Amino acid sequence: MSKELRIGLVGYGFMGRTHSNAYKQVSQFFPSLYRPVLKAVCARDEAKAKAFAENWGYESIETDWRKLVARPDIDAIDICTPNNLHKDIAIAAAAAGKMVLCEKPLSITTAEGEEMCAAIEKAGVANTVWYNYRRVPAVTLAKQLIDEGRLGRIFHYRANFLQDWTINADLPQGGQALWRLDAQAAGSGVTGDLLAHCIDTALWLNGSISDVSAVTETFVKERMHNLTGKVEKVGIDDACTFHCHFKNGSLGLFESTRYARGHKALYTLEINGEHASIRWDLHDLHRLQYFDYADDSIVRGWRSVHVTDGDQPYMKNWWVPGLQIGYEHTFTHQVADFLKSLETGTPCSPTFRESLETQKVCDAVLASAKDRCWVDVA
């Protein structure tokens, strides 16, 4: 007999949809003791909330997240709002004894993240942060290969996250859909939005980062603000490049921008070790490129591993070997792992506390760019 996990979702945008899809799909593919029930969705616009609830099968709506958090028929609060709301919702949810699943980045700053971790840990509630790229089967396989020691000593970690959607200088900042350009709502630009993903994956695959040296640029300095109607200074970083030392002695190189014409969401990573190298590309997410120096020299070269077999991460729960899955399944995997964690009592990574490490690197990157110097990660 399965137990219900009654979900209260805050925010019905892009992530509200990916998470709802995952809650609906997970129990069929990853049977577990716990089964998500779409209890309520919260959004400020009642009509839109109702339409979303109807479309996705939520039983009810709220227009104030405080009311949602206080409801006794909700077990877990899922935060899919702009970044500046994560802290208040998470702390209130924890205080009400709810489990919390929070979108990334955990917080706007490390200090806010610390408060969130303290609240979650005081309440002792299950928690996780949606760094979903860890759960692309090819990326999880990369983790397995590294942990098995197949790469040997790691020398280089390289990651890019490139987009091109803010090149137009007439694009306003702030409000619905454009909150990412507003420093008040987003905290930072590409650093907290895109590099946070690259940093989370890097910390997971290659361990801690000790110090960073960064440059950022804001190419369009002023934009009309949708909330004030005035042309205002742009406070976010449009592009960020940083290099770093990892604690294992390897060097890291990271680049992110929203000004790389032709790239929509090109997240790539490459890891070069003593024995082998790995490469992964979000636009070809079901493949892992692998080079093994131990191969016979006459056939040695980069292999393109199609990650679809039952013995590869997550894949035995899907179709048959050779048939790939996609982006949305990374969220289903995160829900599946969260449900499993409730059964086993082992926290679902990355927890709030683990995600705070990413926040510390983001803060060090922004401080380094501002002060034009190397900064130790706190």
Ligand X SMILES: NC(=O)c1ccc[n+]([C@@H]2O[C@H](COP(=O)([O-])OP(=O)(O)OC[C@H]3O[C@@H](n4cnc5c(N)ncnc54)[C@H](O)[C@@H]3O)[C@@H](O)[C@H]2O)c1
Chain positions contacting ligand X, by CB under 6 A: 10-16, 42-44, 65, 80-83, 85, 103-104, 130, 132, 177, 193
CA distances, 235 to each of 4, 191, 242, 312 (Å): 43, 12, 19, 43
What number of helices (H) and strands (E) belong to the chain? 11, 17
Smallest distance from ligand X to CB 68, Å: 9
Closest residue (Cβ) to ligand X? Answer: 13
* C-beta of 154 vs 200, nearer to ligand X: 200
Query: Is residue 331 within 8 Å of residue 21, measured between CB atoms?
Result: yes
Q: At which residue do the structure tokens 């303290």 appear?
A: 118
* CA separation for the pair 252, 249 (Å, rounded): 10
Q: Edge-to-edge strands of the sheet including 239-246?
A: 303-306, 287-292, 276-281, 266-273, 154-162, 251-257, 239-246, 209-217, 375-376
* C-beta of 35 vs 48, nearer to ligand X: 48
Query: Is residue 279 within 8 Å of residue 289, measured between CB atoms?
Result: yes
* C-beta of 188 vs 368, nearer to ligand X: 188
Smallest distance from ligand X to CB 147, Å: 23
* C-beta of 44 vs 233, nearer to ligand X: 44
Smallest distance from ligand X to CB 26, Å: 16
Smallest distance from ligand X to CB 121, Å: 21
* C-beta of 188 vs 308, nearer to ligand X: 188
Written as one string, the DSSP assignment of 13-44 is SHHHHHHHHHHHHHHHHS--SEEEEEEEEE-S
* C-beta of 143 vs 303, nearer to ligand X: 143
Sign of CA dihedral 131, 136, 142, 144: positive
* C-beta of 6 vs 86, nearer to ligand X: 86
Smallest distance from ligand X to CB 208, Å: 22
Smallest distance from ligand X to CB 371, Å: 26
Smallest distance from ligand X to CB 196, Å: 8
